Amino acid sequence: MEIVLLGTGSADGWPNPFCGCASCRSATAIRAQTAALVDGVLLLDCGPEAPRAAMHWGRSLAQVRHILFTHGHPDHVGPAALLMRHWTGATEPLDVVGPAGALDQCRDWVAPHDPVRFQTVRAGDRIRLGDYDVRVLAAAHGSDIGGDAVLYDVGSADARVLWATDTGPLPESTYTAVSGAGYDAVFLEETFGAYTEHGTEHHDLPGFATTVARLRDCAAVTDATSIVAVHLSHHNPPEPELTAILSDSGARPGRDGEVVRVGAATSRPVRTLVLGGARSGKSAHAEALLAGKPEVTYLATGGVREGDAEWAERVRAHRARRPDSWRTVETAEVAEELRCARQAVLLDCLGTWLTARMDLHRVWDGGDDGRNAVSADIDELVSAWRACPAPVVAVSNEVGSGVVPPTASGRLFRDLLGVLNARVAAESDEVVLMVAGRPLRLPAD
């Protein structure tokens, strides 16, 4: 099962476009209203921002056959999507499922002969949609729309996930219904962060931790479950702090455009390349991708620079962001580490690795021997990247978009790093370009 997070923000997103608070000013990524696309055919919520978000992240909705609405609030129901589909002349059936408060908003957006099938559900129902077994669960949310908000337990032949937005602390009936589920992934809303005076229809950070603990107690969540916080707002602290707090529960914040693979989709560990310029947020994004892993090996290729106080401060800041459970290995000999990995790996970064190899082989002195040796090192690294038996994320600099370097050595480094980035990207499942702190997912073709 492949779940693409089209949005991970609350109704007002994060940052709120009208707000200048510290949290909004510190946001390094825009989070749109929460929604997800499963296997390209099933939409979990479809608010007004979801269709355009899908296109932004390189995903078509042409094959969508099922839409599950959790409730009728306007950030979760964007009925204009049905009109957009109508304009294409679609003839394939579309199941539109949800509580009455959501479906009633959609019916007038469908032409009489559109192949759209509305199915009203309530907590306790169980339905079959194509390849998916869907259980409808009670939420604690939405008294202003009739109290008919629901959550979804979605299972396929090889995976099972819980979509739990929007809701406050879960009703006892929901814990009973999910007991023993052993979900592959749980997407749980966490709207209010440190603000706790908001009522009972959303989670804050303490409530989120309590809910996750109870899901563990009833075996709905196991050590193998990916726990992703969604429906995030500016009531939360800046992302590095939020990531650290959520990691105490074995969770992490979701990111717009992120792809979560579970079940058979995880049979091959995912390889992700994160590119970006200086201070683009690439390292922080890469760390967030692995924040939910209990153990991570951090391959630091920059080494120690004696007497360089500014570099030492950079290293200190990076270390402070990382959980205590992460193992740091400072080395430029990364190929063997990749081949023998038994836990998730973060390689930061390919640019400093390449510099170290060029120094080792005295490329700066000129001649073909040094360049040939570096090319052999690149071959070895790409081979190890391909063979790595664990999930792996690499960070690299994008240096080819600026002015032409004035020196031959600068041009050589630029060219070799471009080759290295392209070869690693060709062997990666996901490639993300960070621009001004915002991640852009690069399609394969």
**What is the arrangement of strands in the sheet containing 66-68, beginning at the earlier edge strand?**
116-120, 94-98, 66-68, 42-44, 35-38, 2-7, 259-261
Selected catalytic residue, list 141, 231, 318, 361: 318
Residue 318: active-site member: yes
Residues belonging to the active site: 318
